[in-house]
A and B are shown apart, each in its own frame.
Chain A
């Protein structure tokens, strides 16, 4: 494997976009722009942007702190502040970061929120998280958009109407008040047109794993690919450019029959194709990834890259029905699907992308993902007779990443896949 990794144009573009956003956030005092804190699942960034406000995602800040090895100290500080060991570590990391001056990944201070927009309630922790933030920023207004769970396996017209009503009566009035701007439906529609194009690109990008070798790793690299759409660029022309560029690069890789790019260069031999359920660990992200690419394992699909929105099953925002689209987008995010829908989605991934195995990375402090994972795993195993594996770690608490335990389980899992391949080809 080559040690030098040449940066693709899309990587440079993404870096410029993120740096630009944080710079803009650092300059709000001068520009007077208002700041909205919101979450990745069901993030209605187009609406925020249509009011000329800037979004901040505490989850993204937390995972960035994890990757920059700062989360351990932040979590300790949050625990000293009274949060128990079992609280979601994204929350504790975020609270710890605030207690330490709220310095973002680029070294600039992240401005305080002018509005807390809770647009996805499927994760109960989100509610408590914003209650905590409300206490840390006394007087900040909170807009709550209640998202009905897809309990009955579908989104009904009543569910959509319920959410649109909340948007009209709760969210939009608050945004108008905070931003000082009137709701501009035409502007929102134009942003949604961009989102729709981006959603198309995302489906095509993650669909490239149908190729052998797969030109991308849909988990470890996938989290970078979903970066722009989940960190403030939904609906922007920059996002359309980024995803167009990325897709173009991937077509070249497919043409040249190149495997995925890893931190140590191109993966030369694709030995195992996996579908992974659950978020990755961020504190040891590189080590974790290396355990896979060293074994020639490529992730051909992952549920985590659908956390900000599920487009595989045909959903696209419809610019002609802007508020309905935002509502349905929120209800359609991965953790808002019922368990059977998740099984169906994962089954489609396993079949469409010819996976050799299914692996769950169960996160200690994430109820939204972890609840039901064993059932999902067992159903897939029985239905598809696919080998399954189960490992445990955490999002950003370094105390819960046991390298040797994970390595031991992964080694067994890979040997299991190898043995199966050997016997079945005989």
Chain B
């Protein structure tokens, strides 16, 4: 039986899971937003990584066939999208039940009827719209987490309703979403994948997929045996893992980054609540590290706060900042003061993109100071963490690293940057 290893990174904002095989190859990834119930967050990320691993194994198995038949490749990719949608849909159905319970508990008479009607209308609309987005792959630009997907659509609809219903509708949502988010929904992989194929029957009407079925069944029934696992991240002490399976996120990030880019000497990790500057030796062993203390300005949460101030989604921040033509100088990087500064700048007529560019630069300056305190940047430099996906942050990090430490510094960023901690954890699991 093949052995697989799991790494879980329970961060302050997102929980990540990575599954690797015996050659340290990533075969499964799972990510969800961290919520009050850490066990649920971990379990969701873990299950997602296992489902993702099944799809990865399926793709590996079908490599030869998909090469000759590109349609198969597209089909499998669509099956995976619909599979994800069906998980979403099941949660949405559960949320719908919760909505009704909340309404019954909170409102009566005509108000109850009205609100029930609005909710029915909204929920009915969300499902099909989301299916399309899953199939078009357009969810990627946003946060693909259940709460974010639903709240975006929900808020939009609520804004169209008569004003007096705004507060009751938001109350119903707030009371219901946490409840659903903190419970675990069970799925049967085989059942969901068959259902996915059913959904796609119409789209791929003419295509003979009988040859794939056997492989799909094989992968669905495959026992993905997790031989060992390691947990890391801020919430690691709360993970239901034995003590020896808990590792510090500093070590895991460094180990993961070093595995992906073996030339790494300095790692900058910007996560939800902390920024870490880590120096590693040629074995990927940490020699020193420096973290922000007492203030989370400059981390992912700061960006989230800024996005809220601008009423845009987190993923829209970077692209907007990149469009800047005249970057504004931001003095305050305090998260709380930033809001006041933003309003002041908007008042005096500064452009949103220029302000955003200034904000991005300001937070990168903080990271640069942390890097300097940790001993500077040594070649090669690897940038990890969720914030590394923000193009504007990446732009300023690259600019300032090259400017301060020389043009010959090689800068590494991986599409899996957010998973580096979980990857390091999985690699520790394989080695212990």
List A residues at the B interface (Cβ < 8 Å): 374, 377-378, 381, 385, 387-390, 392, 402, 405, 408-409, 411-412, 415-416, 419-420, 423
CA–CA, A282 and B281, complex, Å: 35
* A416 with B293, Cβ < 8 A, contacts A385-B287, A389-B288 known: no
Residues of chain A within 8 A of B285, CB atoms compared: 416, 419-420, 423
* A390 with B288, Cβ < 8 A, contacts A381-B375, A405-B293, A423-B283 known: yes
Query: Which segment, of B173-181, B197-205, B245-253, faces chain A?
Result: B245-253
| Contact yes or no, B294 A387, CB < 8 A | no
Does residue B286 face the partner (Cβ distance < 8 Å to A)? yes
Residues of chain B within 8 A of A412, CB atoms compared: 248-251, 286, 289
Residues of chain B within 8 A of A374, CB atoms compared: 373
A173 CB, nearest partner CB in chain B, Å: 48
CA–CA, A423 and B285, complex, Å: 9
Can you list 15 A-B pairs, Cβ within 8 angstroms, ordered by A?
A377-B288, A381-B279, A381-B288, A385-B281, A385-B287, A387-B286, A390-B289, A390-B290, A392-B294, A405-B294, A408-B248, A415-B248, A415-B250, A419-B286, A420-B285
Does residue B149 face the partner (Cβ distance < 8 Å to A)? no
CA–CA, A377 and B251, complex, Å: 19
CA–CA, A374 and B289, complex, Å: 12
Does residue B291 face the partner (Cβ distance < 8 Å to A)? yes
| Contact yes or no, A378 B251, CB < 8 A | no
CA–CA, A402 and B294, complex, Å: 8
B214-257 to A contact mask, C-beta < 8 Å, 1/0: 00000000000000000000100000000000011111000000
**Which B-chain residue is minimally distant from A358 (CB atoms)?**
B288
| Contact yes or no, A416 B250, CB < 8 A | yes
Residues of chain B within 8 A of A402, CB atoms compared: 293-294
**Which A-chain residue is minimally distant from B248 (CB atoms)?**
A412
A407 CB, nearest partner CB in chain B, Å: 9
CA–CA, A243 and B291, complex, Å: 41
**Which A-chain residue is minimally distant from B285 (CB atoms)?**
A420
| Contact yes or no, A415 B247, CB < 8 A | yes
What number of A-B contacts does a CB cutoff of 8 Å give? 54
B170 CB, nearest partner CB in chain A, Å: 33
A424 CB, nearest partner CB in chain B, Å: 9
* A416 with B373, Cβ < 8 A, contacts A387-B286, A392-B293 known: no
**Which B-chain residue is minimally distant from A411 (CB atoms)?**
B248
Residues of chain B within 8 A of A390, CB atoms compared: 288-290
Q: Which of A388, A409, A416, A419 contacts B291 (CB 8 A)?
A: A409
Residues of chain B within 8 A of A416, CB atoms compared: 248, 250-251, 285-287, 289
Q: Please give me the 8 A-B residue pairs with the lowest Cβ-Cβ distance, nearest first.
A: A412-B248, A412-B250, A388-B288, A416-B286, A415-B248, A378-B375, A392-B293, A411-B248
CA–CA, A389 and B286, complex, Å: 10
Residues of chain A within 8 A of B294, CB atoms compared: 392, 402, 405
B238 CB, nearest partner CB in chain A, Å: 12
A419 CB, nearest partner CB in chain B, Å: 6
CA–CA, A411 and B248, complex, Å: 7
340-397 of chain B: CB within 8 A of chain A: 373, 375
309-367 of chain B: CB within 8 A of chain A: none
Residues of chain B within 8 A of A392, CB atoms compared: 293-294
CA–CA, A374 and B288, complex, Å: 11
B267-303 to A contact mask, C-beta < 8 Å, 1/0: 0000000000001010101111111011000000000
Residues of chain A within 8 A of B247, CB atoms compared: 415
* A381 with B287, Cβ < 8 A, contacts A412-B248, A412-B249, A415-B251 known: yes
B287 CB, nearest partner CB in chain A, Å: 6
Residues of chain A within 8 A of B287, CB atoms compared: 381, 385, 387-388, 416
CA–CA, A409 and B288, complex, Å: 11
**Which A-chain residue is minimally distant from B254 (CB atoms)?**
A416
| Contact yes or no, B375 A419, CB < 8 A | no
Residues of chain B within 8 A of A378, CB atoms compared: 288, 375
B16 CB, nearest partner CB in chain A, Å: 18
Residues of chain A within 8 A of B279, CB atoms compared: 381
**Which A-chain residue is minimally distant from B428 (CB atoms)?**
A419
Residues of chain A within 8 A of B288, CB atoms compared: 377-378, 381, 387-390
A26 CB, nearest partner CB in chain B, Å: 41
**Residue among B247, B251, B285, B288 with the highest chain A CB neighbour number at 10 A:** B288
CA–CA, A374 and B251, complex, Å: 21
**Residue among B248, B251, B290, B291 with the highest chain A CB neighbour number at 10 A:** B248
CA–CA, A374 and B285, complex, Å: 20
**Residue among A392, A402, A419 with the highest chain B CB neighbour number at 10 A:** A419
CA–CA, A242 and B293, complex, Å: 41
Residues of chain B within 8 A of A419, CB atoms compared: 251, 285-286
Known: A405-B294, A409-B291. 5 other contacts (CB 8 A): A377-B288, A381-B375, A385-B281, A402-B293, A415-B247
**Which B-chain residue is minimally distant from A405 (CB atoms)?**
B293
Residues of chain B within 8 A of A387, CB atoms compared: 286-288
B158 CB, nearest partner CB in chain A, Å: 38
CA–CA, A408 and B293, complex, Å: 11
B201 CB, nearest partner CB in chain A, Å: 52
A360 CB, nearest partner CB in chain B, Å: 10
CA–CA, A10 and B247, complex, Å: 41
